[in-house]
Structure 1
Amino acid sequence: MHVIATAGHVDHGKSTLVRALTGMEPDRWAEERRRGMTIDLGFAWTGLPSGAVLAFVDVPGHERFVPNMLAGVGPVPAAMIVVAADEGWMPQSAEHLAALNALGVAHGLLVVTRSDLADPAPALELARDELRASSLGEVAAVAVSGATGAGLDRLRAELDRLVAGLPPADPTAPVRLWVDRSFSIRGSGTVVTGTLGAGTLRVGDDLELAGGQRVRVRGLQSLGRATGEVAAVARVAVNLRGVPRDAIGRGDVLLTPGRFGLTDVLDVRLAGDPVAELGSELMLHAGSAAVAARVRPLGPDTARLRLARALPLRVGDRALLRDPGRRHVAGGVIVLDVAPPALRRRGAAADRAAVLATLNGRPDEASELRRRGLLRRAELERMGVSPTGEPVAGQWHADPAHWTGLAGRLVAEVHRERAADPLAAGVPVETLRQRLGLPERILVEALIRPPLRLAAGRVLVGPEAPGLPGPVAAAVDRLAAELAGAPFQAPEAARLAELGLGARELGAAVRAGRVLRLAETVVLLPDAPEAAAKVLAGLSQPFTLSAARQALDTSRRVAVPLLELLDRRGVTRRADDGTRTLAS
């Protein structure tokens, strides 16, 4: 299916034309038919000569109903501009064209209707000149009469050519269905309609409203028929389970969960009125939504918008700004940034304008990462970016230059901590996370490269612990001198303190391999186990703890942990009766 909008000032001739093409009545309200004026959006569809199906969103032409018109044209990719031969180009025709131009609609067809009432040539020539200067450019044109049927066959052929040239939709894309109508059906509940521009809807799908509420698709209709699945592009009616009628309406959005972010502050590029001349309060029309927006000019063609209600917008989205008081389309906007930085310091607005001047409004992973440094995959996707690069850790993607800089800072922080506290057993990962301003510990761990290493949640330098500071090294030398004559007579805690070996100094000496800690305050020289094994080899096998203690000339305080260490190393084997045998 293909969907286009029918726009133009001449409501009566436009609706007559749609009726003639489709055999359906696009004006849903009796008041519309009585007055010959389209007030709200109308919908109809028809088959084309190629077999393609084309749906029309018939939008109001009168200036009082421009907001309704904008709700209809926002989500569609093409338009059929209808001008009456007996009236020609009118002010509302110009406003409709300004809206299409602001939205960047590039596919269209010009139809001069009521050609049975006047020569269509003058109206056709003027209208083509107007369209040529817009985003529509040079378009095909057809003169018809909805009343007599003249020119309808050619119109159908031109519509066929128009839809054949439309860019294909992506059926795998996430769903963002802008609601243009909401109503209740007895026995079924709430039904909403909209133009599905991308993605696929299925009965049973879980969706979410822009406010976060989860909803489920109870049923689907397209072209008046129930179906289990609808792929873009299509007009679709969605029956929602458990949603009150007053909880959803025009301007709301149904979304694939987790794939869109809401924003009420965005930076945009404007094409239209000079930014400096914009009013401070305008209406932003995006999709079927109309939201009040406060405008802060930044650069010659860029501005920051602060919205009265957050919308699920992405980088590259098209929208328009309108001044409802002047009934004037101020211009079209391209969304450049949906998560812009705050502007707090002096000169921040000028700096931001310089950054925005470099952006083209196309979602780009490298550009987003270059400006933000680090982003999760889900954050990129919610901005409209499809990540192609490999994550640096978990779901985190990084700008290469920023990541290299973080690695350098990590090395510097570890060395700085080592210089400030030589006795410290490395730097805790959490400390480094905070100093580098990183959101998760896994990013610190992913940055570790030789000569850094990770051990027990701390980052150290090199394969070995650092050398000991002079005072600690001297204290260890004094300990070694005392143990030289009695290698298994470990000093008591008080003597260790006298030597200058407190808990932190001992920890550093152990990490440096200068001493061996058997228990909290039982320390010997590193070669004590090998020396003990030589002494124990001279005992009758098996031997008791008491015999070992006497042979080693030490206390039970030292002998017990020393023998347990030898057991763990396989130097000795302990029997059930508590005796030990030296392993051969």
Structure 2
Amino acid sequence: MSDRQHFIVATAGHVDHGKSALVQALTGTDPDRLPEEKARGITIDLGFAHLEIPSPDPSASFLLGIVDVPGHEDFVKNMVAGVGSIDLALLIVAADDGWMPQTEEHLQILTYFGVRHAVVALTKADLTTDPAAAAVAVRERLRDTPFGAAPIVPTSVVTGSGLDDLRSTLSRVLATLPPPRDIGKPRLPVDRVFTLPGIGTIVTGTLFGGTLKRGQSVVVQPSGRTTRLRRIQSHAQDVDTSGPATRTALNLTDLDASDDVHRGEVVTIAGLGNPTSVLDVLLDISPRAARPVKDGLRVRVHLGSGNVAAHVALSAGKELAVGARALAQLRLEAPAFAFVADRFTVRDWSEQHTLAGGVVLDPDAARKGFRTRARTEWLDDLAAAIDDVSGVVRLYLARAGAVSRSQLLSKSNFSAGDVAQATARLVEDGVLVDAGDSVCDGAHWQSLTRRAEDAIDAAHRAHPEHLGVPLADLRAVLEAELPVADVLDALIAGLCERGFVRAGSVVRRASHRPALPGPLKEAGAKLGAALAAKPLEPPSRKELTPDALSQRALRFMIDTGEVVEISAELVLTAHDVARASDVVRRFLREHGPATVSDLRQALGSSRRVVVPLLEYLDRTFVTVRQGDKRALRA
């Protein structure tokens, strides 16, 4: 069999209904590994095994990672840690006991986590005289659930009956499922941690969303610690890479004693965003649940393989009734690493009852403004579009205004390729605007454009003497609406297609011509006369511009090139600078390198003017300093 497809299967069901015995009969592996489990005869923590079965396609097979979960009510929190990212549930009901409390609770948990496919193993069929009647009773319990049409297979680990049928049924159901996707965002929620002498820290979990490679640098979230993958094992074999839907063990290096990794943390890669303490969610209570959820209730949120304390804030009302669905906010007491569209389960603070479940809408939410109309309308729209990449891209851009392409929906269950294709379609349709390395919501872009045009026009009216608006000033005006800095460059490029011109560090309307307004014309004339009166011995800048009008007039003359700013204290007319430059060039050509004193005499001016003038000529590549002399630059 050349083609192996990987899937994750988890058991579910009431205590003592034979989950572990069935796994052992199917795989030959006893999933109960703890001495206490052996002594008490019940599963306490997660157990693991693997099973390869033929596919209906003769050239392929299915390699299943099997997670065996505890069924006792005291260990439901461990059960929840094992079913957060599975492809198929193996729901186990004993034929002699029938449907029991943890059967029901486990079914609700599977539903909350978004599991949609199951096979029912009717165990202990040898202990009842009418397995068919037991199957009918189970079918009735499954009515109006995602598993209403799930196949039911009577089995007995004592006689071996039904085991082959169960394997073939698993194969037939798995053949209808799409293969787990590699979206380039690997996440491994840690469900087991141990240390081996001479090897170091080992973590295990169900890998999904992407591939991990030996030697790769990874990040442990939510702590943010970086480490490297020294070794990888999958199904008890060393591998160079491990992909989605595989039970995977990672040997982490570069961690010291203070860097303990715990169940519930996530091994992932850099660049997928940061953990958060506030989640906006769509909260759902099964119609089969026993109690409502009250606003402000303290709960345990089970996400991935971990759980974190949180308070529930409902978007409206004081209580969410059984069978109802509503927007809510989970205010976590510790950070968690979550993506858009992640599924979760909510249990009560004492870990005795499963209350609700749901889907993450915004993994980077803020408490402020949660109950505002704009926010709830946005979340309602997002909930309706949660599986549609184009809809989610459009809504996130509508809220953010603009986002860097590399960060757009990085914390989502969509691949970068999915997001890029959806973005390109929306740009083509005019819903979004291409802004270089970023992408901008179309309505936000229009608003930015209008504000920029208005700001430039206002500046032209207020200061007609200026060449234009400095880009730094325009950025300051638009700063609150520029969530991504490089959007301004794209905006300026867009303005230049709409009758504007960028000149160096300023932007202006193409029709704008700098001109001194009436009150400044007289000041400008006085400045010109004062500079012309003593061409190379002008008054100091302070003497030239004793008031605001004269300062504005001088700035205009500098910007238009009529006057040259030699230094902070010295200005000369452009004509006089050109004439002085010609004198210096001619003197140096005839006499060679010369001192400041030599050039001062040639220019007929003072050191106050000649020293900064020569420094200006150095900066403009006319002269070059050689010790205490100046020479013509080659």
Of 372, 377, 380 in structure 2, the residue corresponding to residue 354 of structure 1 is 377
- TM-score normalised by the chain length of structure 2: 0.77
1:160 deviates by 0.7
Instruction: Provide, for residues 314-369 of structure 1, a one-character-per-residue CA deviation record: whole Å limited to 9, x for no partner.
Output: 1111111112548332222111111224425xx94444323222212345222101
Q: Letter of the aligned partner of 2:95 in structure 1?
A: A
1:537-576 to structure 2, matched below 5 A, reads none
Is contact 1:12-1:37 (8 Å) kept? Answer: no
Q: Which moved more, 1:430-439 or 1:186-195?
A: 430-439
Q: d(CA) in 2 for partners of 1:103 and 1:499?
A: 72
The answer to whether the Cα contact below 8 Å between 1:144 and 1:151 also exists between their aligned partners in 2 is yes
1:13-32 pair list within 5 angstroms: 13-32=18-37
Is residue 2:226 matched to residue 1:214? Answer: yes
Tell me how many residue pairs correspond in the alignment: 568
Please name the residue that 1:579 is paired with: none
CA distance, structure 2, for counterparts of residue 522 and residue 470 of structure 1? 23
Counterpart CA distance in 2 for 1:366 and 1:99 is 31
Q: Which amino acid aligns with 1:396?
A: S
Residue from 80, 103, 108 that aligns with 2:113:
103
- Does residue 431 (structure 1) correspond to residue 473 (structure 2)? The answer is yes
Alignment pair present for 1:232 and 2:280: no
Return the alpha-carbon distance in structure 1 between the equivalents of residues 19 and 571 of structure 2. Answer: 98
- One-letter identity of the residue aligned with 1:13: G
> C-alpha separation between the residues in 1 aligned to 2:565 and 2:249?
76
C-alpha distance in 2, partners of 1:431/1:247? 49
C-alpha deviation, 1:517, in angstroms: 7.5
Alignment partner of 1:247: what SS?
coil
Whether 1:272 aligns to 2:285 is: yes
User: Counterparts of 2:306 and 2:63 in 1: how far apart (Å)?
Assistant: 27
- Higher mean alpha-carbon deviation, 409-418 vs 89-98, is at 409-418
Q: Is the 8 A contact 2:378 2:395 kept in 1?
A: no
Query: Could you give the per-residue CA deviations for residues 80-106 of structure 1, whole angstroms, max 9, x where no partner exists?
Result: 101111001111100010101111100
Alpha carbons of 1:223 and 1:463: their partners in 2 closer, same or farther (altered >3 Å)?
same
Q: Which moved more, 1:400-409 or 1:454-463?
A: 454-463
Q: Distance in 1 between matches of 2:47 and 2:613?
A: 91
* Contact 1:175 1:200 (8 Å CA) reproduced: yes
> Is 1:291 matched up with 2:311?
no
Structure 2 partner of 1:48:
53
User: What is the RMSD computed on CA atoms of the aligned residues?
Assistant: 4.3
CA–CA separation in structure 2 for the residues paired with 1:116 and 1:232: 38
Higher mean displacement: 461-470 or 402-411: 461-470
The structure-2 alpha-carbon separation of the partners of 1:372 and 1:500, relative to structure 1 and needing over 3 Å to count, comes to: closer
Q: Mapping of 1:44-443 within 5 angstroms?
A: 44-50=49-55, 51-118=61-128, 119-210=130-221, 211-241=223-253, 242-244=255-257, 247-272=260-285, 277-279=292-294, 280-299=297-316, 301-325=326-350, 327-343=352-368, 348-360=371-383, 361-362=386-387, 364-384=392-412, 386=416, 387-388=419-420, 389=423, 392=434, 395-424=437-466, 426-435=468-477, 436-437=479-480, 438=482, 441-443=485-487
Contact residue 313 and residue 330 of structure 2 kept, 8 A: yes
Any conservation in 1 of the 2:219–2:267 contact (CA below 8 Å)? yes
Kindly report which structure 2 residues correspond to 1:443-454, keeping only aligned pairs within 5 A, or say none.
443-448=487-492, 449-450=495-496, 451-454=499-502
User: Residue by residue, what CA displacement relative to the aligned partner does 1:414-446 show, whole Å, maximum 9, x if unpaired?
Assistant: 332333344455433333323232356533333
Matches within 5 A, 1:473-488: 473-476=521-524
Structure 2 counterpart of 1:576? none
**Equivalent AA in structure 2 for residue 301 of structure 1:** A
1:197-238 CA-to-partner distances (Å, cap 9, x unmatched) read: 221122111111111101111111111122222122111111
- Give the share of equivalent positions with the same residue, in percent: 39
Match of 1:39 in 2: 44
Q: Offset at 1:161?
A: 1.3
- 499 and 514 in structure 1: CA distance in 2 versus 1, 3 angstrom threshold: farther
Instruction: Tell me how far apart the structure 2 counterparts of residues 305 and 463 of structure 1 sit (CA, whole Å).
Output: 55
Letter in structure 1 aligned against 2:171: D
Other structure's SS at 1:208 match? strand
- Matched to 1:250, the amino acid is R
Query: How far does residue 498 in structure 1 lie from its aligned partner after superposition?
Result: 9.6
Q: Which amino acid aligns with 2:328?
A: A
Alignment TM-score, normalising by the size of structure 1: 0.84
Partner of 2:127, secondary structure, is coil
Relative to structure 1, the CA distance from residue 66 to residue 498 in structure 2 (aligned partners, 3 Å threshold; closer, same or farther) is: closer
